[in-house]
Amino acid sequence: MSRIIDRNHDVANEFNYYYNNGGKDDCSKLVGDRIKNIIGENIYNQNTIQIITIAVINYLCALVEIVQIVEINRWKKQAYECLNADKLDGDKHSIEVNIETYEVPLIIILLICATLQVFFTWQLYRQFGWNIYKKIGADLRMQRLYRTMLIFVMFLKIDLFFMSYLAIEACTVSPPNRLTDSRLYYFHVCITIIIVLSQILAYRSLRSESSLGMKIFIGAWIVCIADFIILLKFSIKSSSEESWYFFSAVIVIGLVMGLVTLLWSIFVLRNFGKGLKPHLSRPYSLPTQRPSNNITSSSDPPTRPPRWAIDD
């Protein structure tokens, strides 16, 4: 664990060094601060599920980088053909950039770090079970319900960033003049707003165990998934040279995340009314049981036990 904290702290210092020595934008500062937050946020809160999610996201980032390498090489080849290679002569290599030299080592390092993080996560998982025990107790069924709720909250956090960003990105890359029907564009704009509102509704319904609110979320989320299927259909062209591989891959990831969130929302809905609600507002330590009336309080002065009398 200490190695992970030291490594992330060094990376954050590198970002801050760049920012303090000529960085013009605030991006490096924000990234450095976020890395510092990641250092202790999930470890301090003992949220193993989100630590596992970070490792999975690292694997997905490696997959996205591989897709980008393939797409960059494809577009580079097409651009070279459009510029007419016969007229370039000595400038032929000026437009050729060896992407693999820079990206492949980064992908390998990212996969190695993600694998190490999985190993450390498993070690943390064996230690963090005490946190759930202090909040829920020794009831295994209640712990399973609580764990399902935590996973669903984690999916909502990821969807709030990923799904919302993907929906906004789709609005910019698919304006009305690029679609065969402009009504699809305005439909997607409405879906972008619904994605944010439905996640707020899901979180509030989860805390209050509102079956109606969760059912409304499930219905709205199905419509959002249908919208992403429409986007995937328009991103895949009849010719492979016209298809946008990166955008299609991101939409597929968004569809998978949307389906998993939908499935987990059904699990959470089925768990309503099974006794989990009182535990959601309980502090992390189990409440101390009050002594009954026939038991002397620890604050009272000690009394002498009665003497035993022996009958003649």
Q: Which range has the worst mean pLDDT, 1-5, 101-105, 148-152?
A: 1-5
Task: Report the C-alpha gap between 213 and 268 in whole angstroms.
Answer: 12
Q: Given this model, what pLDDT does residue 312 score?
A: 41
CA distance 33 to 26: 11
Nearest to 211 by CA among 139, 261, 219, 259: 219
**Confidence label for 284 from pLDDT (cuts 50, 70 and 90):** very low
Share of the chain above pLDDT 70, in %: 51
**Band (54; pLDDT cuts 50, 70, 90):** confident
100-109, 136-145, 217-226, 254-263: which has the minimum mean pLDDT? Answer: 136-145
Res 215: pLDDT:
92
User: Helices 2-20 & 27-44, crossing angle to 10 degrees?
Assistant: 160
41-55, 97-111, 250-264: which has the minimum mean pLDDT?
41-55
Q: Look over the chain and give the mean of its residue pLDDT values, rounded to a whole number.
A: 69
Least confident piece of the model among 48-62, 81-95, 219-233? 81-95
Higher pLDDT, 21 or 161: 161
pLDDT of residue 230: 84
Residue 149's pLDDT is what?
82
Q: What is the pLDDT of residue 73?
A: 72
**CB 217: neighbour CB atoms within 10 A?**
27
Residue 308 — very low, low, confident or very high, per pLDDT cuts 50/70/90? very low
